[in-house]
Amino acid sequence: MEMLMQELASSSKLLRDFKEMYEYDNRLKTFTNWPFVKNCKCTPENMAKAGFVHCPNANEPDVAKCFFCLIELEDWKPNDDPWEEHTKHHSCGFLSLTKNFDDLTVEEYYMLEMTRLRTFLCKTGRSIINSFEEEVTATRKRLVDNFSKHQYAPELPVLLHADPTSQPSESSCYQSKKIQK
């Protein structure tokens, strides 16, 4: 459960931080140490124009995530077009803007932000539900494994008079016996 709470806290921070990423310059600033800078289509400038922020980790230096739809893409090639890759993998409200962000009305910005929040909440909720289900499955397996190690068979009645030719009478005594596996 602690892991779920950490994931939720991390997601909340990401939600706040990504609100600043509507601005192209803020997205561009994230592309420090981006592996593709010259003579290619996926330059930091083109990545930022397509809504991406750079989210590298130790094993994957070229991870980029859209601040709006949260799609995460990696394994970029120099000739990958960020806009094309983004639209190929996901429908994004940011990419469908018909005018510059600075030219949006307050109402248009509000509607755009509502879409971003809805997308964020759905993806975060799905992720948390999946983590919870994985935790439930692991706990269930631990319980089953633990109980199967210490499980006894149900008690079975055993006839005290075991003469195969005689019929048990109503007064016959039965004794229960535990059978261990």
- pLDDT per position as a tens digit, 132-166: 898 899 999 998 888 887 665 556 565 555 555 55
Residue type for position 41:
K
Angle between helices 2-19 and 106-149 (to 10 degrees): 170
CA distance to 6, 19, 27, 64, 108, per residue, from 113 (Å): 25, 8, 17, 21, 9
Say what the pLDDT of residue 84 is. Answer: 94
Q: Give the tens place of pLDDT for each residue, 84-131.
A: 999 998 788 888 888 888 888 999 989 998 998 898 888 888 888 888
CA distances (Å), 162 to each of 27, 58, 166, 179, in order? Answer: 85, 73, 8, 18
Output the average pLDDT for the chain: 81
CATH of domain 18-136: 1.10.1170.10
Backbone phi, psi, residue 164, to 5°: -65, -20
Which are the contacts of 36, defined by CB distance < 8 A and separation ≥ 6? 42, 43, 62, 76, 78
**pLDDT over 90 for what percent of the chain?**
34
92, 86 in Cβ contact below 8 A? Answer: yes
Whether 84 contacts 95, CB under 8 Å = no
On the question of pLDDT at 172 being above 60, the answer is no
Tell me: pLDDT of 22 over 50: yes
* Confidence check: pLDDT of 64 > 70: yes
Q: How confident is the model over 25-40, as pLDDT tens digits? A: 999 999 998 988 888 9
Domain range list for the chain: 18-136
Rounded Cα gap, residues 94 and 112, in angstroms: 8
What's the whole-model pTM score?
Answer: 0.67
